[in-house]
Structure 1
Amino acid sequence: MDNDGGNANTTQFYDYSSYYYEDLLPNFAPCSNKDLRNFGMVFLPTIYSLVFVLGFIGNGLVVCVLLKHRNQTNLTDICLFNLAVADLLFVFTLPFYSHYLVVDQWTFGDFMCRFVSGSHTTGFFSSTFFMVAMTLDRYMVILHTRAVARYRTPMAAITLSVIVWMLSLCVSLPTLIFTKVTNESSGQACGYVPENKAWLLYNMFSVNILGLLIPLLVMICCYSMIIPVMMKLRSGKKHRVVKMIICIVVAFFLFWTPYNISLFLIFLKSEGKLQSSCSMEQNLKLSATVTETIAYTHCCLNPIIYGFMGHKFRKRALQLLRKLVPLIHFTSYFSDSTYRESSVTSRSSDVTSNFIM
């Protein structure tokens, strides 16, 4: 959630009702955030609710499909399953924050304050880390196919998943420890209250570096080497695979970068590195509010990019939907021949199967 000099996952809300003074105004006339606060109380809960519904349906369908075909899973399927679980954990927290914004106080107690905040942060980092893991796996499969073939077992995938979840939990521990309920003038608030400035800096740079810069660099480096190899293959699916790669990188960059930039600028403002003014304060908070909603919708795109763009997965999803909702006729615009393997070399088939699930 928004915070002053914090990050996307510390759930420290802006005090929209606070007043601050514009140095350039005569007699230090107070500047009010009332309009911005009213905007946030309507805009954010609406978007949060929409993201929750779409994210729950999309990621829930991914989980159901992979569980139904769990006997046919591979490392890619297991990573995709964990990515969907991470996104579900993330969207699970949004209704609590919607309620928090609407009633303007935290009513769920200290335990839920810590639990929801920790789940929010863990879901964010685990989702990002699993995208990185899937990127590295694809890089190894395509550029070092024979060397890694024997290691891509279900047990290896489970081990990798445990490591990613443990890493995400460790990175999120400060949120679990320092988030608590505090008494404010308007009632109880749930916020990140670190013991010292070092933990505030940790949260800022963990989200920007571990949550954006490193994953983005890994994706760009790996996929820049994968695309030339894919273009040399004789598989008819290579163009669709390249489009999928571009979608993954571009979506991650466009959805998360603006929010991280907004949070970093707010951090600089809190450190006195930027000019203090009413317009500056309001513009930064407004940009954080808007870009936050854009960033959070990325979890709704993951099932589309990683799951539904794959023919095999889409076919399984349609079969499951026909059983769950028999009154609605689900059709696919792809013929059965679309799902047949191309008559290409075995290496080409193995490579594309890791993208087109």
Structure 2
Amino acid sequence: MSDGVNATALHDGVNTSSLYDRVNAYYDYSGYYDGVENATTPCDNANLVNFSQLFLPTLYSLVFVLGFIGNGLVLCVLMKHRNQTNLTDMCLFNLALADLIFVLTLPFYSHFSVVGEWTFGDFMCHFASGTHNTGFFSSIFFMVAMTLDRYMVIMHAHKVARYRTMRSGIALTVVVWMLSFCISLPDIIFTKVVNESTRLTCEYSPENDYWRTYNTFTINVLGLVFPLLVMIVCYSRIIPILMKMKSAKKHRVAKLILLIVIAFFLFWVPYNISLFLWFLMSKGLLSNGCSIGANLRLSITVTETLAYTHCCLNPIIYAFVGQKFMKRAVLLLRKYVPVVLLPSNRGLSDSSYRKSSVVSRSTEVNAIM
């Protein structure tokens, strides 16, 4: 097995270490020696390895920088105005925190893809895999929570107002983080440092095929199908109600909703389709020739990075499009980064956009969007 193969395979998935075991099957030459598929030589993956070693570190670094800045700014703004926090702000804070935790693991995998060896030890192998997956699922679940919150506020404004308290937000936060951690627990347990030939790799080594199927289920069903269905069902009912409201912002809010769904679909569906096709190939339901395998691996590598960039867009989609949040962000940047060319402070104080406490559908729409 040539150098760099495992380095590339380790990075081809939402759960980088978990997907290693699935994609690494492509580099298992036992079929060649056993005469399977009438193979005469092992698959030549040199071009794919070289491409991944250049492509992954570059894109991972870009996602890390943009995701760190964007989500870090969201956290700073919300922390500065924590006394005015509501349930929506708590969800937004945790979404940014989940995305930040997610991108903080990328430098480890970027380094691995360049060096070709895991140099951070067994603890960091477990830790990186666990935080990577926990951050990923937490980000998905908090997007779902924000969708359901918007649905309840708009469809049942007067009934749910008294339940949207700080205590409810804290309870929701604990439940989501614990759920995400529990889902990621098998990856934390089974991911470990393995001595592969002359170098160390951080691999997902489950005890049986059940856990491989489990990973496929969690990534595709909990990571894509479930949140996408929730968004489509909830927002398809919200938009008609918005159109009936006497609000000048209803068209802007409707466009924002469509942007949320379309962005999630475009960024995640190609990646999950690639993973699912690889799963079918690993089960022998698709041809596993060298050409098909190489194309699928290339597809996974490219669509993976595209999917990861969604965490860079979350601050823009969920935070910066809101006028209140944008004003707060501008004020914060002007205070701590005076060299940045930003609009004047005039009219940007919190008092200029404080809203009445009267609960109605239109005011709630402005508050949560």
Query: Which bin holds the TM-score, normalised by the shorter protein?
Result: over 0.9
Distance (Å, rounded) in 2 between the aligned partners of 1:162 and 1:27: 52
Secondary structure of 1:180's partner?
strand
Return 29-38 or 89-98, whichever deviates more. 29-38
Question: Match of 2:66?
Answer: 54
Q: Which amino acid aligns with 2:151?
A: Y
Q: Which amino acid aligns with 2:194?
A: T
| Equivalent residue in structure 1 for 2:177, among 154, 165, 171 | 165
Secondary structure of 2:43's partner?
strand
Return 186-195 or 300-309, whichever deviates more. 186-195
Distance (Å, rounded) in 2 between the aligned partners of 1:183 and 1:149: 56
Question: Match of 2:156?
Answer: 144
Q: Deviations over 1:204-249 (max 9, x none)?
A: 1111011110110000000000000011011100011011101111
Secondary structure of 2:201's partner?
strand
Quote how far apart the aligned CAs of 1:75 are: 0.1
Secondary structure of 1:189's partner?
strand
Q: Which amino acid aligns with 1:31?
A: C
Rate the CA distance shift 1:335–1:240 in 2: closer, same or farther, 3 A.
farther
| Equivalent residue in structure 2 for 1:237, among 245, 249, 259 | 249
Distance (Å, rounded) in 2 between the aligned partners of 1:17 and 1:279: 13
Question: Match of 2:365?
Answer: 352
Quote how far apart the aligned CAs of 1:303 are: 0.1
Q: Deviations over 1:157-179 (max 9, x none)?
A: 01110010010001110011100
8 Å CA contact 1:17, 1:34 repeated in 2: no
Distance (Å, rounded) in 1 between the aligned partners of 2:230 and 2:105: 28
Q: Which amino acid aligns with 1:207?
A: I
8 Å CA contact 1:139, 1:226 repeated in 2: yes
Rate the CA distance shift 1:10–1:70 in 2: closer, same or farther, 3 A.
same
Secondary structure of 1:182's partner?
strand
Quote how far apart the aligned CAs of 1:28 are: 1.1
TM-score (norm 2): 0.89
Distance (Å, rounded) in 2 between the aligned partners of 1:136 and 1:197: 35
Quote how far apart the aligned CAs of 1:347 are: 1.9
| Equivalent residue in structure 2 for 1:120, among 119, 132, 142 | 132
**C-alpha RMSD of the superposition:** 2.6
Quote how far apart the aligned CAs of 1:289 are: 0.4
Distance (Å, rounded) in 2 between the aligned partners of 1:95 and 1:26: 40
Rate the CA distance shift 1:56–1:65 in 2: closer, same or farther, 3 A.
same
Distance (Å, rounded) in 1 between the aligned partners of 2:216 and 2:323: 39
Q: How does 1:9-158 map to 2 (within 5 A)?
A: 9-11=15-17, 12-13=19-20, 14-15=23-24, 21=32, 28-158=40-170
Distance (Å, rounded) in 1 between the aligned partners of 2:36 and 2:181: 45
| Equivalent residue in structure 1 for 2:269, among 244, 257, 261 | 257
Distance (Å, rounded) in 2 between the aligned partners of 1:297 and 1:27: 38
Quote how far apart the aligned CAs of 1:26 are: 7.9
Distance (Å, rounded) in 2 between the aligned partners of 1:334 and 1:120: 41
Q: Which runs of 5+ in 1 are unaligned?
A: none
Distance (Å, rounded) in 2 between the aligned partners of 1:171 and 1:262: 22
8 Å CA contact 2:328, 2:348 repeated in 1: no
Distance (Å, rounded) in 2 between the aligned partners of 1:334 and 1:252: 36
Return 21-30 or 164-173, whichever deviates more. 21-30
Q: Which amino acid aligns with 2:282?
A: S
Quote how far apart the aligned CAs of 1:67 are: 0.1
8 Å CA contact 1:7, 1:204 repeated in 2: no
8 Å CA contact 2:87, 2:165 repeated in 1: yes
Distance (Å, rounded) in 2 between the aligned partners of 1:119 and 1:112: 10
Q: Which amino acid aligns with 1:354?
A: A
8 Å CA contact 2:158, 2:360 repeated in 1: no
Q: Which amino acid aligns with 1:190?
A: C
Quote how far apart the aligned CAs of 1:336 are: 6.6
8 Å CA contact 2:161, 2:359 repeated in 1: no
Q: Deviations over 1:246-275 (max 9, x none)?
A: 111111111011111111111111111111
TM-score (norm 1): 0.92
Q: Deviations over 1:96-131 (max 9, x none)?
A: 000000000100011000000000000000000000
Shift >4 Å, 4+ stretches: 1-4, 14-27, 332-337, 339-343
Secondary structure of 2:265's partner?
helix
Distance (Å, rounded) in 1 between the aligned partners of 2:213 and 2:193: 21
Secondary structure of 1:212's partner?
helix
Quote how far apart the aligned CAs of 1:29 are: 3.2
1:217 lines up with 2:229 in the alignment: yes
Q: Which runs of 5+ in 2 are unaligned?
A: 1-6
Secondary structure of 1:183's partner?
strand
8 Å CA contact 1:10, 1:179 repeated in 2: no
1:8 lines up with 2:14 in the alignment: yes
| Equivalent residue in structure 2 for 1:189, among 194, 201, 212 | 201
Secondary structure of 1:28's partner?
coil
Secondary structure of 1:328's partner?
coil
8 Å CA contact 2:99, 2:311 repeated in 1: yes
Secondary structure of 1:30's partner?
coil
Secondary structure of 1:31's partner?
coil
Q: Deviations over 1:57-112 (max 9, x none)?
A: 00000000000000001000000000000000100000000000000010001100
Quote how far apart the aligned CAs of 1:327 are: 1.8
Quote how far apart the aligned CAs of 1:10 are: 4.4
